[in-house]
Amino acid sequence: MVLKSLTGNHAVALAVKMARVNVVAAYPITPQTTIVEKLAEYIDGGELDAVMIRVESEHSALAAAYGSALAGARAFTATSSHGLLYMYEWVNWVSRARVPLVMAVVTRTMGPPWNIWTDHSDYYEQRDTGWIQGFAMDAQEAFDMTLQAFKISEDPRVFLPAMVGLDAFILSHTSMPVEVPEQELVDEWLGARTQGFVIDGSEALIHGALSPPEYTEGFIEDVGKAMEEAVEVVREVDHSFGRTFGRSHGGLVELYKCSDAKYHIVLMGAWAGDAMEAVDALREQGYSIGVVRVRYTRPFPGEELYKALSSSKGVIVVERGVSFGSMGPVFLDLAGNMLKYSRKLPYMRNVIAGVGGVNVTYKDFEYIAKETINYLESGEEPSVIAWYHAR
C-alpha cells in the first residue's frame, strides 16, 4: 500500500487502470476530462494495456464501450451533465442488455444557462435506467467505489452496468492522500472479467432482437430482480473489500454519529463531509444529531435507511436537485421505501440546496439543522419541502 495525493478524477482513473480495463471509450466534457486525459496518458505511456476509442460523441462513447463489453472486454467510460443526457438512450440500452461495464459520472448542473458546477440533477435523472448507482464522498471513496463497481457489475447475480457519481470540482479537482493498494492484491480480489454471455463468434448468438410483449416483460422484470439481488452483492463486496484492503465504507449507507442521535441529516456526495463537520459542532452545542450518508441510490438502501431512521425524531434530507413539481428524488425514494417496513413514518423534511453549484458549507448545515430542530422542539412543524439559499 502506498499513499498518493490524487484528485477525485485521478483516483477514478487510477482505479480503472488497476482494474486492468481493456477498452476505454470516451468523449471530453468538463469536469470529467481529467479522468480521460489520465487514462490516455496511462495507455499511450504503456502503463495500461487497453484500447482507447476516441469517439465523436457521448452517444457513441457508451455505444462503443458497450460493443467492447459484449465482445468480452472490461470496459469503461466517463461523462458529465449534457454528455450523460446525450447518451441517455444508451444508458437505458446497456442495462436492459445485461452487459457489465462501469461509467464515472462527474455530476454537473444542466443548462440553460451554461454552468459547470456541481448539482445532482444529471445523476438523479438516471435513477430509472437500471444502473447500479453509487456516489462517492471523497477521492479515496471514488477510488474504492470504482474498483467495487467492476466487481458488483460483473457479479452473476447482477450483470448490470454500474455508475460511480462524484461532484464536479469539489471532488473531481481537489486532492487528498489516497491509499493505493498493491496491483497483485487488486488482481486477486477483482479476478477475471465475468459476463453472462459473450458475442465473439464462438457461438451464433443474437442479442436484442424484436421480442413479443410477454418475453419483453420478463426481461424487464429480471432487471428489477437483479437490482434486488444487488443489495446483498453491494454489502458483500464492501465487506470483502474491507477484508482485503482494510477499508469498508458501510455498504449501501454510511452512518456518522448515529448510534445515539435523535435527529438525522440524510444526503449523498462530497458535501457529506461538511454535514459531518456541522454535526461535530452541533454536538458540542448539545444537539443530538447524526449523518446518514447514502452511498448507493440504486439499488436504494430501503432496509438500511429504515433501520437507521425509523425511530428518528426528525429526518432532514438535503438534496442538490429536485424533481420539478414534486420533491427531491432521494426524499421520494426514502419515503416510499420506508413504507415497505412500516405505515408509521418519522417526521421527514426535504431541503433543496446547493443547486447550480451554490457552495454549501458546514455553517449552512448547522443553520438548516438548528432551524428544523428548534421548530420541532417548540412543537411546530416546518414546511416539508424548502429551498435553502446558501450565501
Partner 1 sequence: MSKLIRVVKSHHRIPIAKPSIGVSGKTGTWRWIKPVVDLSKCTKCYQCEIYCPDNSILVEPLKGAIVNYDYCKGCGICAEVCPAKAINMVEEEQHGS
Partner 2 sequence: MSSIPILPRHMRNTVLPGHAACHGCPIPIGLKVVGAAFGDKVILVVPACCTSVVLGMHPGTAFNGSVVHVAFASAAAVASGISAGLSKRGVRDVQVIAWAGDGGTADIGMASLSGAVERNDDFIYVMYDNEAYMNTGIQRSSATPAGAWTTTTPLGKKEPKKDVAKILIAHGAPYVATASIAYPHDFYSKLKKAAGIRGFKFIYLHAPCPVGWRFDPSLTVNIAKLAVETGMVILYEYYDGGIRLSGPSRPLLDKSKRKPIAEYLKHQGRFRGINEGELRSLESYVDSSWEWVKKFMQ
Q: Are strands 132-135 and 296-298 parallel, antiparallel or unpaired?
A: antiparallel
Asked if 202 touches partner 1 (CB under 8 A), the answer is yes
> From the centroid of its chain, how far is CA 307?
21
Distance CA 110, CA 92 (A): 19
Contact (Cβ atoms closer than 8 angstroms) between residue 376 and residue 347? yes
Task: Count the residues of the shown chain that bind partner 2, applying the rule CB under 8 A.
Answer: 42
From the list partner 2, partner 1, none, pick the one residue 173 interacts with, judged by a Cβ distance below 5 to 8 Å according to partner type: none
Asked if 78 touches partner 2 (CB under 8 A), the answer is no
Contacts of 113 (CB under 8 A, 6+ apart): none
The three-state DSSP-derived secondary structure of 55-68 is CCCHHHHHHHHHHH
Q: Name which of 23 and 171 has its Cβ closer to partner 2.
A: 23
User: By CB under 8 A, what part of segment 162-201 binds partner 2?
Assistant: 199-201
Closest approach of partner 2 to the CB of residue 21, in Å: 10
From the list partner 1, partner 2, none, pick the one residue 265 interacts with, judged by a Cβ distance below 5 to 8 Å according to partner type: none
Q: Are strands 162-167 and 102-107 parallel, antiparallel or unpaired?
A: parallel
Asked if 89 touches partner 2 (CB under 8 A), the answer is yes
Q: Name which of 47 and 381 has its Cβ closer to partner 2.
A: 47
Contacts of 104 (CB under 8 A, 6+ apart): 12, 32, 35, 76, 77, 78, 79, 142, 146, 163, 164, 165, 166
Binder among 197, 341, 347, 375 for partner 1 (CB under 8 A): 197
> From the centroid of its chain, how far is CA 391?
27
Q: Name which of 110 and 198 has its Cβ closer to partner 1.
A: 198
Asked if 281 touches partner 2 (CB under 8 A), the answer is no
Closest approach of partner 2 to the CB of residue 86, in Å: 11
User: Could you tell me the three cell numbers for 326?
Assistant: 414534486
Contacts of 20 (CB under 8 A, 6+ apart): 48, 49, 50, 74, 187, 190
Residue 301: other Cβ atoms inside 10 A:
25
Q: Name which of 76 and 117 has its Cβ closer to partner 2.
A: 76
Q: Name which of 98 and 120 has its Cβ closer to partner 1.
A: 98
Binder among 212, 286, 325, 379 for partner 2 (CB under 8 A): 212
Alpha carbon of 361 to those of 274, 288, 317: distances in Å? 6, 20, 16
Q: Name which of 73 and 338 has its Cβ closer to partner 2.
A: 73
Closest approach of partner 1 to the CB of residue 151, in Å: 13
Q: Name which of 70 and 178 has its Cβ closer to partner 2.
A: 70
Asked if 104 touches partner 1 (CB under 8 A), the answer is no
Assign 348 to helix, strand or coil.
strand
From the list partner 2, partner 1, none, pick the one residue 212 interacts with, judged by a Cβ distance below 5 to 8 Å according to partner type: partner 2
Interface with partner 2 (CB under 8 A): 22-23, 25, 50-51, 53-57, 59-61, 63-73, 75, 89-90, 93, 199-201, 203-212, 215
